[in-house]
Amino acid sequence: MITYKFRLYLKKAEEEKLEIAKEVCRQTYNHLLSELNGRYTKNEIQNYLLDLKVCYPEMNEIHSKVLQMENQRLFSNLSSLSKLKKKGHKVGRLRFKGKNWFKTFTYNQSGFKLIKTNKRYDLLHLSKIGYIPIKLHREVEGNIKNITIKKSNEKWYASITTDAIIKRECGTKEIGIDAGIMNYIYDSEGNAYENPKHFDKYHSELKTAQQSLSRKNKGSNSRKKARIKVAKIHEKIANARDDFIHKLSAKLIKENKFIAIEKLNIKNLMSISYNAKNIADASWGKLSCYLHYKAESAGCVVQDVDPAYTTMDCSFCGTRNNKLEISQRKFVCKKCNKEISRDYNSALNILARGKELASMEKASNTEQFVQQDASMKSEAISLNSK
């Protein structure tokens, strides 16, 4: 399954229609919840929707599958609540949803149509709502399963999920990757991938917006505006970061068939304040996650490596050197005198360790197989001798 996210470009009237649909869905959800009280099954509650429509004629203005999805949402919330309970978490009951806690509604299986126009905007047709301008900046592959309409920071989006399966191909090279301090990452081929420059600009924008927010009076209209501005910048940063990580992981998979990466203990690194911003920015965990996930469909191997001593060991002679200060950018081996950039040395160590681990895993798999084979044989022999 692939999920695409596209922005909707609405005029006032269209936006009002979506607001109304969202509001009716919220009320429907709350009605169903109040009726539920643990007494009914999913199907019984589904039938209750028909009764509700008699009392609340505005529900007839909403596509029936969209309303059914509220029943779906209710029961899926219930099941996640009971899962939490089983895990020993203290949980209360499901709550009624207030306006600020209800941001989406979903067309499942039917009631929608995408139309490519080759004009400035394409069109999304939603049953009972009409045509809505949408920007399809990517080709939508596969059959559309559902479309979720979402309002986020005063903007509207459509999340389109299809049944397509992503096919990727991996490259031929083998690399080790060090999550750097100065650079975002550094690989064993000597390439540095830096954090995009615009991140700094966003961070100073954020700082200004946060300062301005803190000066506003509580409850005032200008404070509300300032808060929206801060949220918007946060969103901009998150989107830019996500985009960067997506592109970088795709490039790495495309070029390599084996990638050794450092398994980072984010918590440890966050405790060093000098690093906190860089590491948070770098969101190494996300890159690692995307690499593993994309590698799977491409046939590339991503090997996690314990990063202990990777900065201290000499990648040429293997001698363990003294710990480097964060400010020391050069690694100089006390034994073989090899002088090399600190991150490059780490990346080479990570690659070597990754390859060692991968071959050990391979060997232990074969060993297990051989053992299994041997024990089966001895079983067979003992059976025969009986």
Q: Which residues bind Zn ion (CB under 5 A)?
A: 314, 316-317, 319, 333, 335-336, 338
Q: Which is nearer to Zn ion, 319 or 378 (CB)?
A: 319
Examine the residue annotation and report whether 262 is marked as an active-site residue of this protein. Answer: yes
Cα three-residue angle 127-133-134, rounded to 5 degrees: 100
CB atoms within 10 A of CB 283: 18
Q: Would you say 274 or 309 has its CB closer to Zn ion?
A: 309
CB of 344 to Zn ion, least distance (A): 14
Provide the residue type at 265 as one letter.
Answer: N
Sheet-wide strand order for 185-187:
192-193, 185-187, 173-179, 256-262, 301-305
Residue 178 is among the residues annotated as catalytic for this protein: yes
- Least distance to Zn ion, CB of residue 309, Å: 13
Tokens of 46: 């589904």
Active-site residue, 304 included: no
CB of residue 336 vs Zn ion: minimum separation in angstroms? 3
Q: How far is the CB of 337 from Zn ion (least distance, A)?
A: 7
Residues across the chain: 386
How far apart (Å, rounded) are the C-alpha atoms in residues 58 and 42?
23
Closer residue to Zn ion (CB): 197 or 323: 323
Catalytic residue, candidates 70, 122, 174, 178: 178
Q: Nearest-CA neighbor of 161 among 145, 140, 178, 142?
A: 145
Residues 6+ apart with CB under 8 A from 284: 179, 264, 266
Q: Which is nearer to Zn ion, 164 or 332 (CB)?
A: 332
Tell me how far apart the alpha carbons of residues 261 and 305 are, in angstroms, rounded to a whole number: 6
- Residue 303 CB, nearest approach to Zn ion (Å): 24
Set 70, 174, 281, 343: catalytic member: 343
The least distance separating Zn ion from the CB of residue 329, rounded to whole angstroms, comes to 17
Question: What backbone torsions phi and psi does residue 126 show, to the nearest 5 degrees?
Answer: -115, 130
Contact 260, 354 (CB under 8 A): yes
Asked if 228 and 249 count as a contact pair (C-beta separation under 8 A), the reply is: no
Instruction: Quote the strand ranges of the chain, DSSP E.
Output: 2-8, 104-108, 112-115, 122-126, 130-134, 144-152, 155-162, 173-179, 185-187, 192-193, 256-262, 301-305, 330-332, 339-341
The nearest distance, CB 276 to Zn ion, in angstroms, is: 32
Comparison of 303 and 345: residue with beta carbon closer to Zn ion:
345
Candidates 174, 262, 281, 313; catalytic one: 262
What string of DSSP letters covers 185-252? EEETTS-EEPPPTHHHHHHHHHHHHHHHHHHSPTT-HHHHHHHHHHHHHHHHHHHHHHHHHHHHHHHH
Closest to Zn ion by CB, 300 or 333? 333
Residue 115 in tokens: 């139309």
Report the C-alpha gap between 252 and 173 in whole angstroms: 10
Choose between 272 and 317: whose C-beta lies nearer to Zn ion: 317
List, by residue number, the catalytic residues: 178, 262, 343
